Amino acid sequence: MDYKKTVVKKQAKVQTSKKTAETRYWKRFKSPIVIKEYASVTSINFSPVSPYDFAVTSSTRVQVYSSKTHQPKKTISRFKDIAYSGSFRQDGKLIVAGDATGLIQMFDGSSRAILRSFRGHELPTQITQFTIDKSNILSASDDKTVRIWDIPTGNNVNLFEEHEDYVRAGVVSQENPNLVISGSYDQTVKLWDMRQPESVMTMNHGAPVESLLIYPNGGAVISSGGPTVKVWDLLSGGRCIHTLSNFQKTVTSMCFDGAASRLVTGSLDQHIKIYDVQDYKVVHSVKYPAPILSVGLSPDDTHLAAGMSNGLLSIRQRQIKASEKALKKQNQDYIKGGTYKYFMRGQSNAPTKDDFVVESTKRQKLRKYDQFIKVFQYANALDEVLKSSFHTPAVVAAVLQELIHRDGLKAAITGRDDVSLEPLMRFLIRNIHHPRYTNLLVDVSEALIDCYTRVFGQSPLIDDLLSRLTVKVKQEIQFQKDLIGTMAALDMLFTKSGSATTVK
């Protein structure tokens, strides 16, 4: 049976705000640029292709901002009413947006010319998005319908009508172009297959759904509505596997980082919070001056944009280090099969929490005092821990506690001369008044006195140390008595003050 190391108890500390690597990473999004738009910024969408410009929808226009200058490159204002959900196609060449009249328009990203107009919705269309195959457009409207439009012909090829209230969220699967997710103010999230007219799955969020995300592999969906965010497992029939309730008000917008390893959420409580999707714990939070209506993070994780209800657009930028660029390029390089790199590709892989790892028995490295305790040399263990190199109260206290548990304290302190007894006596004098160690060191002092009562008076050194220990204990006892008296006097004063206030 392996020897169990002496456990040194860690005492509680007053924790200050500790900066983790994750916090330092997100704090590198510095120098926020704040731009005032004409109205609320309802949508932010980054182009999937470099240089990762982003479309900002506000009032009756969609503006394309440059990721380099942070200034508008193009302004699309061909709307008769409030515009919604300006978003790029996967190649970054086309932009689609809806408006408050229900009209959907598709624009050329370069010339801003209207290429197609899609009519069919009777109320505002607040969700528009290209499908992964680039040939269709998803739209969702306040008229309770979700539609799929064919770009070449401009015809409505799918009409989904099961929602009972405004449809304000929608997303297309990146894995399967036939799958569509929609969220409504009727508090439901529905999964649709373009090859059949009825929904194939319904999930109840419990609040009006404001935003949706689907993981790149298509296995799970994230919905936000009210102050909660929920994660749904599509592979197990739409089971809710996580519920996040870290907000005070409605969560209005969500997005992933470039690797889909972090979830970015914005809320009306003026906070953007970032979650680690491994355990869905908050790793960072940013406070803004107004309620958040839209958030966006660039695919290269260098720009964090937030749109607010008062018309402010905040843009934060992170500078990429040369080492990070080199590492990213190395990870993106394709490893050919049969090469040395191919066979060594998993060498540095770190296991995740869900992995089953075969444990390997490692040889224990014991401290010197643990080595002595292991072979029952208790006196040597006590001498070793009292040396200056280990002379910290927590470690000495742990060894003394271990000796008591092993019924070896008496064996460790008996048979000593004044020179070998001096370090233990000095330790008791220094620390017996400390609340963390008082009970333990009182027991040790009593055991010491029991062992050496008959020989006290024969060594001036030990007699002096014993006198100092006695004085230290008496001072502590007197201090405790004075403290109790002071507390009693304060209680009496507070009681009289309260009774006087009542009489008045």
- 3-class SS at 264? strand
3-class SS of residue 397: helix
Farthest CA pair distance, the chain = 110
Q: Is 80 exposed, middle or buried (0-12, 13-18, 19+ CB in 10 A)?
A: exposed
What is residue 123's three-state secondary structure? coil
Predicted pLDDT at 492? 85
pLDDT exceeds 70 at position 318: yes
- Architecture category of domain 22-319 in CATH: 7 Propeller (2.130)
pLDDT of residue 175: 85
What distance in Å separates the CA atoms of residue 295 and residue 288, rounded to the nearest whole number?
A: 12
Q: Give the whole-angstrom CA distance, residue 408 versus residue 398.
A: 13
- Sheet arrangement for strand 72-76: 41-46, 54-58, 61-65, 72-76
* Domain residue limits, the chain: 22-319, 368-499
- Residues in contact with 394: Cβ distance below 8 Å, sequence separation at least 6, in sequence order: 8, 9, 10, 11
Q: Are 266 and 15 in contact (CB under 8 A)?
A: no
pLDDT at residue 383, rounded to an integer: 87
pLDDT in tens, 136-163: 999 999 999 999 999 999 899 999 999 9
Candidates 311, 276, 274; CA nearest to 292 is: 311
Of 111, 81, 116, 82, the closest CA to residue 96 belongs to: 116
Indicate the residue type of 147.
Answer: R
Query: Cα separation of 196 and 199, whole Å?
Result: 8
62, containing H or E segment = strand 61-65
> Helices (H), strands (E): how many in the chain?
10, 28
Which amino acid, residue 255? C
Cβ–Cβ < 8 Å for 143, 152: no
Helix axes 418-431, 393-405, angle to 10 degrees: 110
Q: Supply the pLDDT for residue 504.
A: 47
User: How many CA atoms, within 13 angstroms, populate the side-chain half-sphere of residue 361?
Assistant: 2
pLDDT band at 479 (very low <50, low <70, confident <90, very high): confident
Over residues 345-399, the pLDDT tens digits come to 666 677 666 666 676 666 778 888 888 888 888 888 888 888 865 568 888 888 8
pLDDT (0 to 100) of residue 140: 94
The answer on pLDDT for 489 being more than 90 is no
- In this structure, which amino acid lies at residue 208? P
pTM recorded for the entire structure:
0.63
**Model confidence at 6, in pLDDT bands (50, 70, 90)?**
confident
The DSSP letter of residue 245 is: -
Give me 271's structure tokens: 């906070």
Distance of CA 241 to the CA centre of its chain: 17
DSSP code of residue 243: E
Question: Over the range 202-222, which residues count as b (16 or more CB within 10 Å of their CB) and which as e?
Answer: ebebebbbbbbbbbeeeebbb
The strands making up 262-267's β-sheet, listed across from edge to edge, are 251-256, 262-267, 271-276, 281-287
Reported as a pLDDT band with limits 50, 70 and 90, residue 94 is very high
pLDDT for 331-343, tens place per residue?
Answer: 656 566 666 666 7
Indicate the pLDDT class of residue 40, thresholds 50, 70 and 90: very high
In angstroms, what CA-CA distances link 480 with 265, 475, 493?
A: 53, 9, 20
Q: Spell 149-166 as b/e; 16+ CB within 10 A means b.
A: bebeebebebebebbeeb
Q: For residue 236, give the 3-state DSSP assignment.
A: helix
Q: Which residues contact 72 (CB under 8 A, 6 or more apart)?
A: 63, 64, 65, 66
